[in-house]
């Protein structure tokens, strides 16, 4: 009974939206079975919500009903291990944050350095996308931006023209160090991505700044992105 009350007190101290397992309660291993049973009972009574097997959260209550945890919270254990970033959110959830789409999805995409099998967690399908660059807290925003460029043709509720213009504005707002880092990271992306980054870089910062990307591309390849002529000002990257 004392342990049961202690579990309730610990759970009540958690913030809403926080996803937790029995390990987050801080009890010694010999109490794990009791802790799991108690959490499942709390979920059955509605005191907490079950996200997926062994994972729970306290929903934030609003006048429109209970809110589910953020996608970042749902997969936080897949993004960081022992203080080191091993993955990052990408795809639709990030496109919304970047102002590229208003749509939401129950598919969570995670960029990773090492291949992983897709999985499910509650209502969410989790897909892993290989990233050739090293992943760090500092470069994740740039990787998310480059992933968006790579997938510019499949951004929902948008057009390649609109997405290109929005991405151009984001790159325009970057500081000098971030621009250099973006170009370096882009070198490990596919040719179409390098071409788009190169075209935007040349448009904003000049041909010399973009030359490192242009030199990696086949001089006769045409990249069919679906952009209109009024959007791309340079012909050096053969984007249409």
Predicted confidence (pLDDT) per residue in 163-221, tens digit = 999 999 999 999 999 999 999 999 999 999 999 999 999 999 999 999 999 999 999 99
> Greater confidence, 31 or 170?
170
How does the average pLDDT of the chain come out, rounded?
94
pTM of whole model > 0.85? yes
List, in sequence order, the alpha helices (H) in 60-139: 71-74, 76-79, 92-97
pLDDT of 59 strictly over 60 = yes
Which tokens sit at 162? Answer: 């609109």
Per residue in 210-231, pLDDT (tens digit) is: 999 999 999 999 999 999 888 9
Report which secondary-structure segment, H or E, holds 3.
helix 2-13
């Amino acid at each position: 009974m004392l342990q049961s009350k202690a579990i309730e007190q610990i759970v009540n101290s958690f913030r809403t939206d926080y996803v937790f397992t029995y390990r987050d309660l801080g009890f010694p291993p010999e109490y794990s079975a009791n802790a799991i049973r108690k959490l499942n009972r709390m979920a059955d009574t509605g005191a907490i919500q079950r996200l997926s097997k062994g994972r729970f959260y306290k929903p934030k209550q609003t006048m429109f009903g209970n809110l589910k945890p953020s996608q970042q919270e749902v997969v936080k254990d897949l993004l960081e291990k022992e203080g080191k970033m091993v993955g990052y959110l990408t795809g639709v959830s990030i496109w919304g944050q970047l102002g590229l789409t208003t749509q939401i999805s129950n598919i969570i995409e995670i960029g990773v350095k090492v291949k992983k099998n897709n999985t499910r967690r509650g209502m969410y399908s989790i897909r892993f996308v290989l990233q050739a660059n090293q992943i760090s807290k500092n470069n994740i925003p740039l990787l998310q931006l480059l992933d968006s460029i790579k997938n510019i043709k499949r951004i929902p509720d948008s057009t390649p023209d609109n997405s290109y213009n929005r991405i151009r504005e984001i790159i325009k707002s970057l500081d000098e160090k971030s621009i250099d880092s973006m170009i370096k990271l882009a070198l490990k992306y596919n040719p179409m991505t390098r071409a788009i980054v190169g075209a935007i870089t040349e448009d904003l910062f000049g041909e010399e700044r973009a030359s490192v990307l242009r030199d990696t591309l086949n001089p006769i390849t045409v990249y069919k992105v679906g952009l209109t002529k009024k959007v791309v000002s340079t012909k050096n990257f053969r984007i249409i």
